[in-house]
Structure 1
Amino acid sequence: MGVLDFLPGKEKPSEHATNRPAGSTSSVAPPPADLDAPPAYHSIGGPAIKTSAAHDAAAAYNHIQQGDNEDPAIWSCRGCGVTNAPVRYKCILCRSFSLCFECHKNTTEHHTKHAPHNFALVTSAEGIWGCDGCGTRDAPLRAKCRSCSDSDLCLDCFTGRGVANVHPAHPREEDFTWALYSDAVWECEGCGSKNGDLAFKCRSCRDLCLCPKCFGSVEKHHKLHSSQSDYMPVISLNRWWKCESCGTPQEKLIEKKRAAVRWDCKHCENDSLCSKCFEKVEKKHKKHPRPEDFAAVLYLDMYVE
């Protein structure tokens, strides 16, 4: 099934798929400890070591190996405070620093400790949420209350039982926003990119999606529905990938415990690096050798405890 419109009152979709700053090396007293940084950060020199792709990748890898991240199902945005928003970006060098989609637009405003490229879009094999109406876990379509920090409803509760009955505190349909978890293929209407980990789907059109970059200028790409409020995020699940440098496929990376973070080149379609290869990004991807040329994707269900 494609990334289609499941919202109440819409036509039933067809079954056919569409598509750190540098530290001082002098003998002066070191700066205060970075309490948000992972243990690996301190063990290899902390703020006294100059930021590099190798350092960041190694710290992120060790951090994940230690399994000291926050509960994957419960988190709050350190920018605005919203809890358990569908779209989440996590700093892979911090134990518990995440931002929602809106706050991630201005990463440096909310997080000055680490460079923006260290924020990873969070995904998993399942949606990692629960319906407050019936207790169903990880349903594909999720309605989130705009006013409550952590109130979500599945489609059955929202339409079958009625939102006013299930969530009387905020009984109107417009009090909720929608998100879809899907493994369907899709293509951006704006730039033609395909099957990214995050899309924004027009709620009024049967099958129109935009990538995050094009969504930032939605009025240019879809004039009929030009307000961002007309769209819902689609979080892709179960995307298969392999490292373009070492050629290791996802299943082997999982066996080697190297599949928790995927680094995608922002300029090359479907060019991804595993964490080990990203440590030597200047050699492994000479066409775009800078760390900031890559976007990280974090798989919560592949953490190694």
Structure 2
Amino acid sequence: MKEMLGEEYAAFYASYDLPKYQALRINPLKTERDTFLLQAPFSLNRVPWTTNGYYYSGNDQPGRHPYHEAGVYYIQEPSAMAPAEYLMAEPGERILDLCAAPGGKSSQIACSMQGEGLIVCNEIHPARAKILSENIERMGVCNALVTNETPQKLSDNFREYFDRILVDAPCSGEGMFRKNEDACDEWSPENVENCAARQAEILDCAAEMLKPGGRLVYSTCTFAPTENEGSISRFLERHPEFSILPVEKKDGMMPGVPAWTEHPADGLEHTIRLWPHHLKR
């Protein structure tokens, strides 16, 4: 990390001693945003990269409020709200969230769909698929199908079926070290390589399921270039029919770094990195 960040490393390291930012995302399937903001007993400030996301203060406890159990909002990491926003789901489309548990991104996508179309929310692990199903129900999503399948099995049955696909890929979890000590204990260079290989398999399956001209959004919760710039570049080498689409970056979002991977793909600078020392994530 020191080699990657250079002079910025001190600021990155210091960010881990700062208070953690927490956020919730208002569910428009259950309430109007303006109404909620008038009634909510929390101190809220807008998350800039999503319409319905709001930071709450350390004194608030929204997880204990009846609104949470009723699905009026979803408690979610601020950074986790970004991928679904860039998917840009529309009502009436067919959308796949390929690695969907626990359901935050799926429910966010469903809000954009406004009850029209189909969202398939898949999770390979049965216990996590059960949690995913419970959250989809709690959030009032009526146009979802929850599946417990491998990406390979889905790709055998849904060739060129989906308008948009989100792959929030299983990863080495470097961005989760402060939140989850197990992620730190499980990290190793070998695990990074194993995750990158798994990501390649998942992305290849996603490519088979996407309609020509569709949108594929890939995200991780790790800093490792092998799993980010590397996974993207290798995917584009295998699938030259895909290209990186430039999107608007909000203040504090940083570009991907082509120099961090061998054989960088064209347009890799248009990808987005979220660093804890650059924004409230």
Q: TM-score, normalised by structure 1?
A: 0.27
Structure possessing the higher relative contact order (Cα contacts under 8 Å, 6 or more residues apart): 1
Which of these two proteins has the greater Rg computed from alpha carbons?
A: 1
Larger helix proportion of the pair: 2
